Amino acid sequence: MGKQELRIEENWKEYRLSYNDIANQIVGRLSLKEKISLMSGRLTREEIRSQILNRKKIHYNETPYWAGGLAKENVMPVLFVDGSRGVVCSKGVYTGFPTAVLRGATFDRDLERRIGEAIGSEVIMAGGNLFGGCCINLPYHSGWGRAQESYGEDTFLIGEMGASLVKGVQSTGVIACVKHFAFNSMENNRLNINIISDIRAEREVFLPQFKKCIEAGAGAVMTAYNSYNGEICGQNKYLISDILKKEWDFDGFVISDFTWGINDTVKAANAGMDVEMPHTYCFGDALHKAVDDGTVALDIIDEAAVRIVRTMLAHGERLLKERNEIKKNKNLFKEHIQLSLECARRGITLIENNNDTLPLTCKGKGKKIVVLGRLAEEDNQGDRGSSRTYPPYIVNSVEGIWKILSGAELIVYSGESIGHCKRLAREADAVIIIAGNDYHVEGEHIKADEAIIKNEMFGGDRVNGLGLSKQDIDIISAVAEIRQDSVLVLNGGGAIVLDDITGMTGAILMQFYPGMEGGTALGEILFGKISPCGRLPFAIPNREENLVEIDWEADEQRYEQYHGYTYLDKKNIKPKYDFGHGLSYSTFEYSNLECGLGENCVHVSVNIKNTGRIESYQTVLMFIGTPGKEIKREARLLKGFEKVFLKPGECRTVEFDCPFMELNFYDAASGKMKMEFGKYKISVEGLTGEIEINEQ
């Protein structure tokens, strides 16, 4: 099959490998110095420093970061564009999408694929060819500062959504780079922490989402700063060579996390590191010397060079074609902004609605709406580290509420005086409190020894707890003395424990960090223009002590098999709000659950009917419980989800196919993933069934 005939959207790996011969020919003509130059970032530490010192003029990754490239052989350089919620380059140009955790709350693969396609096209517009924002780390604890950059706490959800993003990005020809490989979910001590895990947790919990993204065709992988079982991930031969390249047969190239991702030339090269980013310290001349000395074999350099060349050639051909098409679309950014709004609408999650507090109806003349809280007028888009975007505008919560009103008076107060909060609450027809977190509380953490590339101190893990701030609690408590029908809107990238305010509000919405049009979506949901349809991608416990133990400042941390909702299940602890919890303004009825066996899969179908008076999207979740006879396993795991749109009275059949391999466990005796035979319990939105899988 010729290159032009191959449907690369379906098999990027096959397409890249079709360039193997020409890549080998090119590499065969290169000198050692030229080969090593392909493996080397082009920036210097001084260039990064100068960008940050002139922060008002130039920000991190304002233009794509270069690595490698060889003009004489028509091999384009790696042009790295960071992100996770959009393209970070330039200011006032590119779309600000919601953070990945909100996108996880949509449980919508197709939406995430379309977002990936939009981001890919904007990477091209920014002059890049690699998107470094496919973050698929699993938050072992909801207090991780960068939990907002991933899709939630479930391995299956992260893998499905991550694979959709990869497919979308690469449909444009842009290389999707998944990160941070692996076990990266502690921020404050990320440069020093050593993660320990047994092989079963490794294979069942912390690595499957990476494997799924590789199978989806991802062309690059970025390693993590942390160590795993005693070795820095960027120099970890077990992770890079043994698992990623050999066991999973990954055909793309591996890049280091920036600056501190590797620290030993020989270890990094021999482990399988292909590109040092964004500087050249361990590679370059040092790597040349290591080859001359015989501590790094020439074959290792050749393999890295071939991986880089064939990947850049394959993606470059598609990217050039897409660039011409993208430039013809005059409505590109308008379409992407609308997509960002669509995502916010589908991800904002209603987690409590006592006495039908929402939707609000008091938006006309003669009505008074009071909005309280320090975050009410903040452009709260989340982390301000490497994922920060600079969209042309941001609709904050207050602006979104103002847009939806039709004559009502709007009063906004940050909440310094508790007495004044009470007075306003007494006079209002509705009180909305905006609370939770921002970039000061959680996000990418920059320690003092990293100040070379940052001149602000913020973010990190939520070391002071998962609850609301004292100021937020004081405002909520004060309003509750006057009325218990206030609406609480929460900003944040992970679970927020609400035990201090139980029973004090009428409704609670999880807004997460909702992107540049998030305020618009919030206003529409608050006043009933649309129904909320998000579902929590993590469990919210009653108390933080219900979660796994973690020491954010430790130099060593063990990651166990159970975390999040699976840990709560194991301990028989009922959460405040379960994983997958989310309310609607409509009502739905489920019936006719059927469970059977398909071709190498479990096939499940269920009917869903909109029994309410409002049209709405609804997410249908399928959990499967394993026999658990051969080895103790999780009580239930998410193994299917679908997003459907239903008009009032409409009924649809939703179907799931769960491949048998999704049910495997790691068998220590054989050293392989193994199928357990017996009875599996199926649960779909309160309906339960059972299926028996026997050895054929």
Flag whether the pTM goes above 0.85.
Answer: yes
Average predicted confidence (pLDDT) for the chain: 95
Domain end point (choices 306, 335, 364): 335
Residue 431 lies in a domain: yes
DSSP string, 175-217: EEEEEEETT----TTTTT-EEE--HHHIIIIISHHHHHHHHTT
> Which CATH number goes with the domain that contains 445?
3.40.50.1700
Task: Clarify whether residues 287 and 363 are in a common domain.
Answer: no
Residue 444 confidence class, pLDDT cut points 50, 70, 90: very high
Q: What is the pLDDT of residue 7?
A: 55
Token pair of 426 as six digits: 């007494």
Task: Clarify whether residues 265 and 392 are in a common domain.
Answer: no
Give yes or no for a contact between 133 and 387, defined as CB atoms under 8 angstroms apart.
yes
User: Is the pLDDT score of 227 beyond 70?
Assistant: yes
Rg for the chain (alpha carbons), in Å?
A: 25
Task: Clarify whether residues 94 and 213 are in a common domain.
Answer: yes
Q: How far apart are CA 365 and CA 38, in angstroms?
A: 65
User: Is the pLDDT score of 463 beyond 70?
Assistant: yes
Task: Clarify whether residues 253 and 381 are in a common domain.
Answer: no
Mean pLDDT check: name the lowest of 158-167, 446-455, 508-517, 571-580.
446-455
Q: What is the pLDDT of residue 328?
A: 87
pLDDT per residue over 520-561, tens digit each? 999 999 999 999 999 999 999 999 999 999 999 999 999 999
Residue 509 confidence class, pLDDT cut points 50, 70, 90: very high
Q: How far apart are CA 627 and CA 680, in angstroms?
A: 6
Residue 513 confidence class, pLDDT cut points 50, 70, 90: very high
Residue 583 lies in a domain: no
Task: Clarify whether residues 324 and 446 are in a common domain.
Answer: no
Residue 184 lies in a domain: yes
Task: Clarify whether residues 429 and 291 are in a common domain.
Answer: no
User: Is the pLDDT score of 670 beyond 60?
Assistant: yes
pLDDT per residue over 56-98, tens digit each? 578 889 999 999 999 999 999 999 999 999 999 999 999 999 9
Residue 671 lies in a domain: yes
Q: How far apart are CA 95 and CA 116, in angstroms?
A: 12
Task: Clarify whether residues 290 and 362 are in a common domain.
Answer: no
Question: For residue 657, with 0-12 CB atoms within 10 Å meaning exposed, 13-18 middle and 19 or more buried, which class applies?
Answer: middle
Residue 247 half-sphere exposure toward CB, CA atoms < 13 A = 16
How many domains are contained in the chain? Answer: 3
> Which CATH number goes with the domain that contains 249?
3.20.20.300
Residue 476 lies in a domain: yes
Token pair of 243 as six digits: 């698992």
Average pLDDT of 94-107? 98
User: Is the pLDDT score of 5 beyond 70?
Assistant: no
Residue 662 confidence class, pLDDT cut points 50, 70, 90: very high
Q: What is the pLDDT of residue 456?
A: 52
Q: What is the pLDDT of residue 447?
A: 56
Average pLDDT of 586-609? 97
Task: Clarify whether residues 386 and 423 are in a common domain.
Answer: yes
Residue 578 lies in a domain: no
Task: Clarify whether residues 558 and 412 are in a common domain.
Answer: yes
Average pLDDT of 397-404? 98
Q: What is the pLDDT of residue 189?
A: 94
Residue 6 confidence class, pLDDT cut points 50, 70, 90: very low
Domain end point (choices 541, 571, 601): 571
Average pLDDT of 30-47? 92
User: Is the pLDDT score of 121 beyond 90?
Assistant: yes
User: Is the pLDDT score of 454 beyond 60?
Assistant: no
> Which CATH number goes with the domain that contains 673?
2.60.40.10
Domain end point (choices 295, 311, 335): 335
Q: What is the pLDDT of residue 3?
A: 44
Task: Clarify whether residues 267 and 176 are in a common domain.
Answer: yes
What is the residue range of 194's domain? Answer: 2-335
Q: How far apart are CA 319 and CA 50, in angstroms?
A: 31
Q: What is the pLDDT of residue 117?
A: 97
Q: What is the pLDDT of residue 621?
A: 98
User: Is the pLDDT score of 584 beyond 80?
Assistant: yes
User: Is the pLDDT score of 315 beyond 70?
Assistant: yes
Q: What burial letters (b/e) apply to 609-639, b meaning 16+ CB within 10 Å?
A: bbebebbbbbbbbbbbbbbeeeeebbbbbbb
Helix (H, G, I), strand (E, B) or coil at 425: helix
Residue 580 lies in a domain: no
Residue 222 lies in a domain: yes
Task: Clarify whether residues 389 and 443 are in a common domain.
Answer: yes
Task: Clarify whether residues 592 and 555 are in a common domain.
Answer: no
User: Is the pLDDT score of 250 beyond 60?
Assistant: yes
Q: What is the pLDDT of residue 445?
A: 85
